[in-house]
A and B are shown apart, each in its own frame.
Chain A
Amino acid sequence: MGMLRVALTAIALAACLAAPALAADIRIACYSDANECEVTQDLAQRFMQANSDIRIIIDRVPFKAIQESLPVQLAAGQGPDIARTTDFGAIARYFLDLRPLVKDAAYWDTNFADTLAWMRTDPNDKGIYGLPTQLTVTAPIVNATLFEQAGVPLPDTKATWDDWAAAADKVAKATKTQAGMALDRSGHRFAAGAISYGAKYFAADGTPAPIDDGFRAFADRFVNWNKTGVVEREVWAATGGGSYRDAFEDFANARIVVYYSGSWQLARLQNSIGDGFDWKIGAEPCGPAACTGMPGGAAFVAFKTTKSPKEVARFLDYLASEPVYAEMMAKTANIPAHAGLQKSGVQYDLPPAAKEAMAQFTHDAGQIVPLAYRLQGYIYSRPIFTATVARLSQAIVGELTLDQALARIQDDVKTAVAAAK
């Protein structure tokens, strides 16, 4: 009996000791805009064949889980080794600095300079916290077939948001389409217009100050467009709170003429619309201050809680290497966040319409103003975006006047930032 127990314990112990040497498990919580997780899965498969000591498990989760459940899991010391997220501010304190772990930190610094900054919490921070999987840019997506039928020319590169709204409305009326335009229910999309109209978002001392004349000018327009039906009201007004909702379904079913979303929709546009109608990407709508979109993009971030930091770094190093990264961009139809590849260009294997769209997106990305990058990289950008959506929706349905709504946005942001400190 005694011998048996000793033997069993020894076996169990041996198994415990041997296990880590056999394989390190790396869990990735992954949400997809289109096929990002599948492509990563393929690449991981190849990586594992060359690195049999690492096992990569990809959990496909909805975006909502990344936004809402992941922070709680991390706070409780649970959570994956890597996650694909766009919401860096909420979980920045759990990030693992990969700088000492990656093969060549200089390669990362030169190639991902702009987007790496988004994952840092202050300007002095030099950490490398993850691999940006794309650079996205917001831009108008246009139903060209409807424009053609209405005989309205596409707005050109100098067209303002007002021109876009007027053109979209004209097309909608001529073709009996439900509404002219729609913006995703997101303060990020809204910020593109606001910055173009001169919103500064920050006070001189660097604290957030979202409400100014520029913001008000665009907010006023947007609320009115919702009220007059130029903009599809259901997208913002039918939901409460600050939750995200896109208008892709409306666009795919030709219920709106112009859809202000972004480059991450490319794969979805190809797959769900097919030859249903012709769609094009428009030039960035202008305001008095700029003609800018908002940058963005998800990244694979690593967490301190991981038991295999070295392996995590090895996998991310693999994904970051130029040929693999290029393949990832080509297969997911994304603009690279990689400076070298931005210059040399990615060989996309796309049908002509998508190729043309990609070119336009890339062009629009070049037009993004520095303020837009700064806002996107600001640690508390999400409270600003959430407040924008929640309060402007209230103004759209008539619960608040525009002034009240703007005052509330200011308050909400102040409260949130104070609570975080």
Chain B
Amino acid sequence: MADATEASAVPARGMSRAAIFVAATRGRHGADWTDWASYVYLVFGTLLMFVPVAWLALSSLKTQAGLDQMPPTVLPYEPARAALPGRPGEFPLFRVTKGDHAGQELAEVRRIGLQAQMVDPAAPAAVIRVPVSDREPVMRLHAAWDNYSAVVSRFDFLLYFWNSLFITVVATVITLLFNAMAAFALSKYNFRGRGTVFALILATLMVPPTIILVPNYLIASQLGLVNSLWGVIWPGVATPTGVFLLRQYMLTIPDELLDAARMDNASEWRLFWRIMLPLSAPALAVLAIFSVMWRWNEFLWPLVVLSRSENFTLQLALNSFQGELTTSWNLLLAMTVLTLLPITLIFLVLQRHITQGIASAGVK
């Protein structure tokens, strides 16, 4: 509670100072302690938000052996290996910690129970026996990019990527068009039943999609949409959020603009796509962002509708590999990173527009 009080006092003071003297908190007189508290809070929060993802990304470059390493490392290390003359293959290197050979780096040829048979790479003829507790693995920095190539080659990654991309793009275009048309009518025409339609659409905001999963599946199957990417696209295009958001925005566009165009004998359809849509661009952008986010991450509905592996989206693939790959977190992590990468890249490029857009839409 104390925290809330302090933090909430901050903007009032900050704002008023800012109003009088914009640079005040940027260190002209030195910041006051509430500024420091904010920075500490924000930096801490940022770390909390980013570190798990960043660590995951770094760890996706570890080998399975590197992941099993306790305590975990930040950077991808893997046990070093060495080739031995006269023996095929490579052998893991260990540093001996105790006994006659303490400090030496030896290659382990074989492990039998608690004894390791080791060989000095410099003098490979002699086999040295070392208790396993008296040695530790030599680690070296190594980015295991093969995790990624394994994921891409072993699991039709490109196909899943294409499916996800197709659904996301097509669904977003249709969503924008349909929702904008509905919002246009709801905001600019006065027709009987308008209130009812609007209320009905809003009421569905509260229906969790999980709840209507079964009947939805039934309907989709009657329409022949099962096992087709369109079966994922269609049910979600009539978003209540989108209609609401666009309607609220379109209400702020003055009717005079439309009336002027009507004077020039433009059709209503023309008014819609030449005037309303371009003027609603900010709200449309927000909806587009939402739609991309929803579609790219959609999980439960595709899980039910798409049962053929050639139709899988990235999220479905990730989920099914989660079951199959419990023994290889290295591949699972690589797959996870590949799944979150596209949306992260979009975010990096459009970050400012996205955050500002959503913020402004939320208030309206």
**Within the complex, are A and B direct neighbours (CB within 8 Å)?**
yes
Q: Is the CB of B218 within 8 A of A62?
A: no
Contacts of A272 in B (CB 8 A): 327-328
Which residue of chain B has the shortest Cβ distance to A29 in the bound complex?
B307
A72:B308 contact, CB within 8 angstroms: no
B268 interfacial contact with A, CB 8 Å: no
CA distance in complex: A88, B218 (Å)? 22
Please name the residue on chain B nearest to A70 by beta carbon.
B307
Across the interface, name the chain A residue whose C-beta is closest to B218: A76
Contact residues in A for B309 (Cβ distance below 8 Å): 59-61
Q: Is B259 in contact with chain A by the CB < 8 A criterion?
A: no
- Count residues of chain B with CB under 8 A from any CB of chain A: 23
Within the assembled complex, what's the spacing in Å between the Cα atoms of A1 and B327? 64
Q: Which of A10-46 contact B (CB under 8 A)?
A: 27, 29, 32
Interface status of B114 (Cβ within 8 A of chain A):
yes
Q: Specify which of B218, B226, B327 lies most central, judged by the most chain A CB atoms within 10 Å of its CB.
A: B327
Minimum CB–CB distance from B117 to chain A (whole Å) comes to: 13
Say whether, besides A65-B320, A76-B221, A78-B226, A59 and B310 are in contact (CB < 8 Å): yes
Interface residues of A in 372-408 (CB under 8 A from B): none
Q: Of B217, B308, B324, which contacts A76 at CB under 8 A?
A: B217
Stretch at the interface among A119-127, A245-253, A331-339, A348-356: A245-253
Name the contact of A149 in the complex, choosing from B114, B221, B222, B308 (C-beta under 8 A): B114
Chain B, range 54-73, C-beta contacts under 8 Å to A: 68
Q: Which residues of A contact B328 (CB under 8 A)?
A: 272
- What string of 1s and 0s marks CB contacts (under 8 Å) between B309-338 and chain A? 110000000011001101110000000000
Does A64 reach chain B (CB closer than 8 Å)?
yes
Chain B CB within 8 A of A63 CB:
yes
Interface residue A145 (Cβ < 8 Å from any Cβ of B): yes
Contact flags A45-80 to B (C-beta < 8 A → 1, else 0): 000000000000001111111000110110011111
Collect the chain B residues with CB atoms within 8 Å of residue A253's CB. 68, 327
Give the distance in Å from the alpha carbon of A63 to the alpha carbon of B319 in the complex.
Answer: 11
B47 within 8 A of A: no
Residue of A nearest to B221 (CB): A76
Contact B307 A65 (CB under 8 A): yes
- Point out the residues of chain A lying under 8 angstroms from B304, CB to CB: 69, 72
The complex places the Cα of A77 from the Cα of B320 at a distance, in Å, of 24
A62 touches B327 (CB 8 A): no
**Complex Cα–Cα for A59 and B324 (A):** 15
Q: How many Å lie between the Cα of A32 and that of B226 in the bound state?
A: 23
Interface check A148, CB cutoff 8 A: yes
Chain B residue numbers with a CB within 8 Å of A61 are 307-309, 320
B193 lies within 8 A of chain A by Cβ: no
Main secondary structure of the interface of B (DSSP, over half): helix
B214 interface contact, C-beta 8 A: yes
CB distance from A278 to the nearest CB of B (A): 10
Q: Is B227 an interface residue (CB 8 A)?
A: yes
- Chain A residues with CB under 8 Å of B222's CB are 76
A62 adjacent to B324 (CB under 8 Å): yes
In this complex, how many residues of chain A approach chain B with their Cβ under 8 Å: the count is 29
Closest residue on chain A to residue B156 by CB atoms = A60
Using Cβ atoms and an 8 Å threshold, which residues of chain B touch A60?
A: 309
Are A249 and B308 in contact, with the CB atoms below 8 A?
no
If the complex has contacts A61-B309, A62-B319, A76-B226, are A69 and B218 also in contact, measured as CB distance less than 8 A?
no
B212 → A minimal CB distance (Å): 14
Residue of A nearest to B312 (CB): A61
Contacting residue for A78 out of B227, B320, B326, CB 8 A: B227
In contact, A73 and B307 (Cβ under 8 angstroms): yes
Indicate if B52 sits at the interface (CB-CB under 8 A).
no
Could you say which residues of chain A place their CB within 8 Å of the CB of B303? 65, 69
How far apart are B284's CB and chain A's nearest CB, in angstroms?
35
Q: Are A248 and B326 in contact (CB under 8 A)?
A: yes
Q: Is B30 an interface residue (CB 8 A)?
A: no
Asked if A78 and B327 sit within 8 Å, CB to CB, the answer is no
B114-149 near A? 1/0 per residue, CB < 8 Å: 100000000000000000000000000000000000
Quote the shortest CB–CB distance from B94 to chain A (angstroms). Answer: 16
User: Is the pair A63, B323 in contact by a Cβ cutoff of 8 Å?
Assistant: yes
Q: Is B113 located at the chain interface by the 8 A CB criterion?
A: yes
B226-247 to A contact mask, C-beta < 8 Å, 1/0: 1100000000000000000000
CA distance A260 to B218 in the complex (A): 40
Find chain A residues with CB under 8 A from B308 CB.
27, 29, 59, 61
Complex Cα–Cα for A288 and B68 (A): 41
Q: Smallest CB–CB gap between B293 and chain A, Å?
A: 25
What is the 8 Å Cβ interface bit string for chain A, positions 205-249, against chain B (1 contact, 0 not)? 000000000000000000000000000000000000000001011
Question: Chain B contacts of A64 at CB under 8 A?
Answer: 320, 323
Kindly state the separation between the CA atoms of A252 and B325 in the bound complex, as whole angstroms.
12
User: Is the Cβ of B327 less than 8 Å from the Cβ of A148?
Assistant: no
Specify the chain A residue showing the minimal Cβ separation from B321.
Answer: A62
When chains A and B are docked, how far (Å) is the Cα of A80 from the Cα of B226?
12
For B320, what are the chain A residues with a Cβ–Cβ distance below 8 Å?
A: 61-62, 64-65
In the assembled complex, which residues on chain B have CB atoms less than 8 Å from the CB atom of A80?
A: 307
Q: Are B323 and A62 in contact (CB under 8 A)?
A: yes
Chain A's closest residue to B114 (CB) is A149
Closest residue of chain B to A73 (Cβ to Cβ) is B307
In the bound complex, how far is the Cα of B350 from the Cα of A254, in angstroms? Answer: 47
14 A–B pairs (Cβ distance < 8 Å), ordered by A: A27-B308, A29-B307, A32-B324, A59-B307, A60-B309, A61-B307, A69-B303, A72-B304, A76-B217, A76-B226, A78-B221, A246-B326, A249-B326, A252-B327
Question: With A62-B319, A72-B304, A248-B326 given, can you name 17 additional A-B contacts, CB distance below 8 Å?
Answer: A29-B307, A59-B307, A59-B308, A59-B310, A61-B307, A62-B324, A65-B303, A69-B307, A70-B307, A76-B217, A76-B218, A76-B226, A78-B226, A80-B307, A252-B327, A253-B327, A272-B328
A-B pairs, 7 with minimum CB distance: A62-B320, A76-B221, A59-B308, A249-B326, A149-B113, A59-B309, A78-B226
